[in-house]
A and B are shown apart, each in its own frame.
Chain A
Amino acid sequence: MSARETILTRVRAALDGREKEAHPGPFLAWRPAADPVPPVRAFAERFTAAGGEVVNVASREEATSWLQSAATAAGSVVLGATLSRELQPDAPALPPESAAMGISRARGAVAETGSLILDARDGRRAQLLPPFHVMVVEAGEIRETLADALRSLAGDLPSAVGLHSGPSKSADIGQILVQGVHGPGRAVALIIGSGVE
């Protein structure tokens, strides 16, 4: 018998006669009642509490302008493969391991956890290697809950989705918090629009 068969047989034998437990249904992230906060603001609060920075611009033009100044200041960029033409700043391009700044197009974001949803199609290395990372997202794509976000992903999953919720950090050295251990030490969420229609 293959290992697969042995293991499955043992599992079935173990479960034989044991009462089956029902699935409890969707996770509803139960919280004490509070005034509802618009998703953009909830996202921004969480993301900044985790050490990230939030830049909220009204339009794509403003976003482009912001990205241009940041890229010029940084000196070199690596761009996400799904970043639209108009958002791409004019700056020296370097590979992910050498670029000073990475710009990624987030597929969406999650308000309740302060997370941006990054897609492998945009390019993983560019999301991880530069010390300064900007993730661009449309305000209307910020979902309230992680459950919503996962449901929306289910139909279109690339080889990897990354949920990024702030700059890289660790407290492994004597419980003292340090930022930028392996991933970017500076993480910016560039939100286009206000999410209010």
Chain B
Amino acid sequence: MSRPAPSGYAAAAEETIRSRPDVRASVTAATRNFDANRARAWAEIEPDAWRDWARDVKAHALTHLDRYLEEAEERLRASGTRVHWAESADDALGILGRIVATRRIRRAVKAKSMLTEELGVNAYLEGKGVHVRETDLGEYIIQLLGEPPSHIVGPAIHRSVDDCRALFHEVLGTPADADPDVLAAAAREALRSDFLAADLGISGGNFLAADTGTLALIENEGNIRLSTSAPRIHVALVGIEKIVPRLEDLSGLLQITSRGATGQPLGIYVSLLQGPRREDEPDGPEEVHVILVDNGRTRLLEDDRAWETLRCVRCGACLNICPVYRQTGGHAYGFTYSGPIGAVLAPGLLGLADAMPLPYASSLCGACADVCPVRIPIPELLLYWRRRAVEAGLVPAGERLAMRGFAAASTRPRLFTAAGDVLRHIPWELGGRALPVLRGWSRERSPPTLDRRSFQSRWKEGIE
């Protein structure tokens, strides 16, 4: 089966909408719930002040990124952490592969990490003979189903309770009509032995504070605390854009991310990690590695408009409010990151040609910009990428032609009127062959009627 890619968006979206109404229903319910929680959490604070601060702190970090990367590396090393740098996904996997080989890793537990998804860590490690167990409940569910995550925060939101019941009944032997807490208890027990038997814990990183070399991770289940505490080796993969200047800056970023993602003042567990266990500590990993990953981030940083995208804190708020995303969930996008942020990250990380048509997978309603905790101007960035797409000739030839015709007519009123008159007489179903625009419309909707007498002609006659 070919790997899904952004280029398949239109077909995948159509397939999901037409034949998987359950997905649309699950995603709609989940995202509405998330968004309502976010709104309630914002009503408790002064969101504008928080968002301005968060935007500014990330912008500051990004415009001084080289300095903070060096500082973070120094502090990490001082705490006994091994620091690696990876330009590409292959580099990152190679580093991971060497660690796994030299330390004879057999079993790994994973905390949820979108970056590891982006890099393809699981498949790579399985190929090296390492048993990898996803421990986040949602990730566990999709690992068992063999699916990629559908949402940045809730990987399995496209699946209903009944889907989970059936899955756990088959895999864990729970009763066919089990309640969610019975299902969760079964998962807890099954995963408990994975935590205790694993040689390696793999995580991502929400933030990396440069002044103390602190890796910060947010969660609700406890699997991240366990994955980074129980196994003897912990490897964290962190995108270079996750650096923030100071430990105390985390106070704002952890809170705004939690409120944006799930409406909580703070995730139930926050891990603030500073390297391997010390002599006066009863437990903890013997070895900690941080792999700083580029994989297209410097390319995005180079873009004078699009670099703002790197402020993203991966809260998923934009997905939760997006009317386009909720029609399909994340799989249709064919990229690790979906929804509004996915549509602007994809061209930045993959290059515009490989990201098409994602910048067009939006009606430009602007709701995402209303909720982004770090004020990424997503609609403006979508327009920016669309302009680049037109300039690069990545749009259909017929569309370019039609646009030229439109532009010519728009400055010639008589021609514009004549074109309208012609359109009036073409049955839209037939006209579709000549003008794809019409076919696109009448596939799903009844065509409007163009009035015989335009307003402007009535005006000339006089309006009573």
Contact = CB atoms under 8 A, between A and B. Distances in A.
A and B touch in the complex (CB under 8 A): yes
B305 to A, nearest CB: 11
Given A7-B298, A160-B271, A178-B181, A15 B65 contact: yes
Given A123-B283, A146-B266, A173-B137, 13 more contacts: A7-B69, A10-B298, A11-B301, A20-B64, A21-B62, A30-B45, A113-B255, A126-B282, A128-B225, A146-B251, A158-B281, A175-B157, A182-B135
B52 A168 contact: no
B251 A182 contact: no
A94 interface: no
Interface string A150-194: 110110011111111111111111111011111110000000000
B155 A123 contact: no
A122 B282 CA distance: 7
Contact of B225 (A113, A162, A178): A162
B154 A182 contact: no
Kindly state the interface size class of chain B when it binds its partner: 35 or more
Contacts of B267: 165
B249 interface: yes
B292 interface: yes
23 contacts: A15-B64, A18-B63, A21-B62, A29-B252, A30-B45, A31-B44, A121-B278, A123-B283, A124-B281, A153-B247, A159-B273, A159-B276, A159-B278, A160-B228, A163-B272, A165-B268, A168-B269, A170-B221, A171-B154, A173-B137, A176-B161, A178-B181, A178-B183
Given A22-B60, A97-B196, A172 B282 contact: no
A122 B277 CA distance: 12
Nearest to B227: A182
Contact of B251 (A145, A159, A162, A169): A145
A160 B274 contact: yes
Nearest to A5: B85
Interface string A10-24: 111111001111111
A55 to B, nearest CB: 19
B192 to A, nearest CB: 8
A18 B245 CA distance: 19
A170 B226 CA distance: 15
B269 to A, nearest CB: 6
A24 to B, nearest CB: 4
Contact of B269 (A10, A120, A163, A174): A163
B250 A3 contact: no
Interface in B77-104: 79, 84-87, 91
A30 B240 CA distance: 29
Contacts of B155: 172
A85 interface: no
Interface in A30-50: 30-32, 46, 50
B224 to A, nearest CB: 9
Nearest to B214: A157
A2 interface: yes
Interface in B239-258: 240, 245, 247-252, 254-255
A24 B228 CA distance: 32
User: What are the 10 closest A-B residue pairs judged by CB atoms, nearest first?
Assistant: A183-B222, A27-B252, A174-B161, A172-B138, A24-B56, A147-B251, A10-B298, A30-B49, A163-B270, A182-B222
B196 A162 contact: no
Contacts of B251: 27, 29, 145-147, 149-150
A172 B154 contact: yes
Contacts of A123: 281-283
Most-contacted residue by chain B among A20, A163, A167, A170 (CB, 10 A): A170
Interface string A101-128: 0000000000011110000111111111
A163 B247 contact: no
Given A24-B56, A146-B254, A112 B265 contact: yes
B275 interface: yes
Contacts of A180: 184-185, 188
A114 B195 CA distance: 27
A8 interface: yes
Interface string B130-143: 00000111100100
Nearest to B154: A172
A85 B174 CA distance: 43
Contacts of A145: 251
B91 A24 contact: no
Given A14-B298, A173-B161, A182 B223 contact: yes
A26 B160 contact: no
B50 A30 contact: yes
Contacts of B66: 8, 11-12, 15
A2 B64 CA distance: 21
A1 to B, nearest CB: 10
Nearest to A161: B272
Contacts of A166: 268
B226 A181 contact: no
Given A162-B270, A172-B136, A7 B161 contact: no
A169 to B, nearest CB: 5
A20 to B, nearest CB: 5
Contacts of A2: 85
Contacts of A97: 192, 196
B61 to A, nearest CB: 8
A157 B274 contact: yes
Interface in B22-68: 26, 29-30, 33, 44-46, 49-50, 52-53, 56-57, 59-60, 62-66
